[in-house]
Amino acid sequence: MLTDPNEAPWMDEELRILREAAGRFLRKEFAPLMPKWEKQGRVDREAWRKAGEAGLLCASIPECHGGGGGDFRHEAVLLQELAFNGIMGFGNSVHSGIVAHYINAYGSAEQKQRWLPKMASGELVAAIAMTEPGTGSDLQAVATTAIADGGDYVLNGQKTFLTNGINADLICVVAKTDPSEAASGVSLVMVETEGVEGEGGFSRGRNLEKLGQKAADTAEVFFDDVRAPKANLLGEKEGQGFIQLMQQLPQERLIIAVGAVAAIEKTLRITADYVKERKAFGKRILDFQNTQFKLAERYTEARLARVFVDDCVRRLLDGTLDATTAAMAKWWTTQKQCEIVDECLQFFGGYGYMMEFPIARMYADSRIQKIYGGSNEIMKLLIAREI
Ligand SMILES: Cc1cc2nc3c(=O)[nH]c(=O)nc-3n(C[C@H](O)[C@H](O)[C@H](O)COP(=O)(O)OP(=O)(O)OC[C@H]3O[C@@H](n4cnc5c(N)ncnc54)[C@H](O)[C@@H]3O)c2cc1C
């Protein structure tokens, strides 16, 4: 009843082969390490290199820059496989789906050649630093500065909640090159941590303890007179950062929506297995009408979510995914993901509350989906502006 991922309208034979290979790799190489990564709050650096060798990194970056030469469909297949196989917290969507695309879209030939091949091999791990302790949703209000000084920018400020924050060697920093301006003062400056960590003024804070996504390293970072060459500015001139962020947002929001739909489908699959197995009062849990009606509703929503997101994938590929539609996809699919995982957990009774049951972990992992990538309230504001 759930859509077969191989039958999505944008799938083809090459993508089915990628899906099969990625799933096999994740089950063999990553799944056994998940308990360790969740305990240490961080994916091993070695895993990034292995993922690079397996072709899982920068899949939608051109081959001439070391990437896989694919498009958004390749990222979507990999995102889905991570969700289907329960590998939560491997920050490839930030690394490959977001930062690599900023470099690919706005980087100079020299910047692309310097960073992308190493990101594709897993030699470099990338992060994006937008959020600050004082501002998250209101990005124009960032207080971090990157002030020109000779051939460098000098960065000062604090960022928080960076996905890959502990592992990252390359950070795309959203900073004000002109603090007297709001949006038009924002630029994206790439900071290579090697050489500036410690004495050079760059430092990392705690690996933050989270409700879910325990294997992800999420950290604060500090810039205290950190120097980055002016050649590390993304784009030809200063002040383009806000526009660059806005241009990339539809893809970033679709990444979250694709993950949400895959998580919904996995939730329903494991719940269906459980309610067919577990008995109470001499009946299977599935035989209670309450279970049947609730699951019937949720399967319907899963189908709607899949059709909507498949359409967004098509639009992204042909260049017609507008910011409003992407915002609709992000808020609605993540809202449904949280509702469905909560309702399904109930069918597991007490076992649903036990971390050894995947549904418990999925419940904890899902909550952030409504907050990051632009909170769902911000998504609704964007939609409402177009009414
Ligand atoms: C696990 C995790 C990973 C993350 N990864 C990254 C990352 O890699 N890089 C990065 O830069 N950031 C990252 N973030 C940060 C995330 O994007 C922000 O937390 C998010 O944008 C919200 O910002 P905030 O936390 O400052 O909340 P605030 O902006 O303070 O908002 C608080 C609440 O008020 C609501 N609100 C705010 N403004 C309005 C409004 N105008 N109208 C109605 N409601 C409003 C919000 O929706 C929210 O519910 C991550 C966060 C987490 C928890």
What are the tens digits of pLDDT across the range 229-265? 999 999 999 999 999 999 999 999 999 999 999 999 9
The pLDDT, as a whole number, for residue 230 is 98
The pLDDT, as a whole number, for residue 150 is 98
Q: From the CA of 195, how far away is ligand 1's center (Å)?
A: 30
* Cα-Cα-Cα-Cα dihedral sign, residues 15, 18, 20, 22: negative
Q: From the CA of 208, how far away is ligand 1's center (Å)?
A: 15
- Residue 228 parent element (H or E): strand 218-229
**What does the domain layout of the chain look like in residue ranges?**
5-124, 127-238, 242-385
CATH superfamily of 242-385: Butyryl-CoA Dehydrogenase, subunit A, domain 3 (1.20.140.10)
The pLDDT, as a whole number, for residue 316 is 97
Would you put residue 278 in left (φ > 0), alpha (ψ -120 to 50) or beta? beta
Place of tokens 């500090």: 222
Distances (CA, A) of 36 to 168, 215, 319, 337: 19, 8, 41, 26
- Residue 305 parent element (H or E): helix 289-317
Cα separation, 204 vs 71, in Å, equals 33
Atom of ligand 1 nearest to the CA of 164: 8
Enumerate residues lining ligand 1, CB below 6 A. Answer: 94, 127-131, 136-137, 161-163, 210, 213, 218, 368, 371-372, 375, 377-378, 381
**Segment 139-151 mean pLDDT:** 97
**Segment 127-154 mean pLDDT:** 97
The residue to mutate among 131, 186, 376, having the most atoms of ligand 1 within 8 angstroms of its beta carbon, is 131
Write the secondary structure of 59-74 as one string of H (helix), E (strand) and C (coil). Answer: CCCCHHHCCCCCCHHH
**Segment 109-121 mean pLDDT:** 98
Residues 6+ apart with CB under 8 A from 120: 52, 57, 58, 61, 65, 66, 67, 68, 100
The pLDDT, as a whole number, for residue 73 is 98
**pLDDT digit string, tens, across residues 312-368:** 999 999 999 999 999 999 999 999 999 999 999 999 999 999 999 999 999 999 999
Question: 3-class DSSP state for residue 214?
Answer: coil
The CATH classification number of 127-238 equals 2.40.110.10
Q: What six digits make up the tokens of 164?
A: 């890959």
Q: pLDDT confidence of 385, banded at 50, 70, 90?
A: very high
Q: pLDDT confidence of 220, banded at 50, 70, 90?
A: very high
Cβ-contact 78, 59 below 8 angstroms = yes
pTM here is: 0.98
The pLDDT, as a whole number, for residue 375 is 98
Annotated catalytic residue 132: no
CA Rg, the chain, in Å? 21
Least Cα distance to 332 among 370, 386, 378, 359 occurs for 370
Q: pLDDT confidence of 297, banded at 50, 70, 90?
A: very high
Residues 6+ apart with CB under 8 A from 305: 260, 261, 264, 332, 333, 336
The pLDDT, as a whole number, for residue 376 is 98
* Percentage of residues of the chain with pLDDT beyond 70: 100
The DSSP secondary-structure symbol of 207 reads: E
- Output the residue whose Cα is nearest ligand 1's atom 14: 161
Q: pLDDT confidence of 269, banded at 50, 70, 90?
A: very high
The pLDDT, as a whole number, for residue 361 is 97
The DSSP secondary-structure symbol of 20 reads: H
Distances (CA, A) of 191 to 49, 153, 239, 305, 382: 21, 10, 17, 38, 31
Q: From the CA of 264, how far away is ligand 1's center (Å)?
A: 23
Q: What six digits make up the tokens of 381?
A: 């504001």
Cβ-contact 365, 212 below 8 angstroms = yes
Q: From the CA of 130, how far away is ligand 1's center (Å)?
A: 10
What's the chain's average pLDDT?
97
Place of tokens 């690079």: 52
Q: From the CA of 212, how far away is ligand 1's center (Å)?
A: 16
The pLDDT, as a whole number, for residue 379 is 98
Domain 5-124 has CATH 3.30.479.10: no
* Fold equal for 5-124 and 127-238: no
The residue to mutate among 38, 94, 372, having the most atoms of ligand 1 within 8 angstroms of its beta carbon, is 372
- Residue 170 parent element (H or E): strand 170-176
Q: pLDDT confidence of 128, banded at 50, 70, 90?
A: very high
Active-site choice (75, 81, 132, 252): 252
The residue to mutate among 43, 331, 375, 380, having the most atoms of ligand 1 within 8 angstroms of its beta carbon, is 375
The pLDDT, as a whole number, for residue 321 is 97
